[in-house]
Chain A
């Protein structure tokens, strides 16, 4: 399966700290996407990184992709309480397959 697998499953940090989540996958991909899900809501797209890219930034988000290790990381800098959510990576070849997610709690 090309399914991504996020690590850790749960993460709790203090407001202002950085949060790092990792995603590993098994097969070739066109791109890898990160999404956020607030409790009781649908997923919201955060950032897409293509297989020929190594790093991408968007505001306080930094995503890296290492296709040789089949892994990606999502870094959220200077976290806020509003960043509390579940984060999912989606690996894409002809369709997007999601991992089980990382639950992030940011404590004010």
Chain B
């Protein structure tokens, strides 16, 4: 089992460009999450999904959109990137909402 994978691992964007981050899990988990991690801030929840076809806003959803068309995939989109979105993005999944989460390796995004 690969667990939780994220693509790409690194990306540099210019302000105003768009991109999509892909998260995939092979554990048949219902719940999936997108977090961003900034120095000294811990992890902040951007959006999450409690099942295929569902999405919900987290703590810091502005500037991001998500989709969960297939149970195993959770996509995070930036429509118009801003320097404030420079961060490390982590995807996680779990079988139940308050159970142990399994994390991907992260995507380091720089917006110039």
- B is bound to A: yes
Contact size range, B: 20 to 34
Expressed in whole angstroms, the Cα–Cα distance for A94 and B94 within the complex equals 12
Give the number of residue pairs across the A-B interface with Cβ within 8 Å: 53
Residues of B contacting A45 in the complex (Cβ-Cβ under 8 angstroms)? 100-102
| Interchain CB contact under 8 A, A48 and B99 | yes
Contact size range, A: 20 to 34
| Interchain CB contact under 8 A, A33 and B100 | yes
Expressed in whole angstroms, the Cα–Cα distance for A28 and B58 within the complex equals 18
Interface residues of A in 25-79 (CB under 8 A from B): 30-31, 33, 35, 40-45, 48
Closest B residue to A47 by CB, please name it.
B100
- Encode contact with A along B74-112: 1 for CB under 8 Å, 0 otherwise: 000000000000000010100001111111111000000
Expressed in whole angstroms, the Cα–Cα distance for A55 and B44 within the complex equals 27
User: Given that A43-B43, A101-B42 are known contacts, is A94 also in contact with B99, CB under 8 Å in the complex?
Assistant: no
Residues of B contacting A41 in the complex (Cβ-Cβ under 8 angstroms)? 105-106
Residue numbers of B with Cβ under 8 A of A are 4, 33, 35, 40-45, 48, 58-59, 90, 92, 97-106
26 A-B contacts, Cβ less than 8 Å apart?
Answer: A31-B98, A33-B101, A35-B101, A41-B105, A42-B4, A42-B90, A42-B92, A42-B103, A42-B104, A42-B105, A43-B92, A43-B103, A44-B103, A45-B100, A45-B101, A45-B102, A88-B43, A92-B97, A95-B48, A96-B98, A97-B59, A98-B35, A98-B42, A98-B44, A100-B41, A101-B42
15 extra interface residue pairs, beta carbon distance < 8 Å, beyond A44-B103, A95-B97: A35-B101, A42-B4, A42-B92, A42-B105, A43-B90, A43-B103, A45-B102, A48-B99, A92-B97, A93-B98, A94-B97, A95-B98, A98-B42, A98-B44, A99-B42
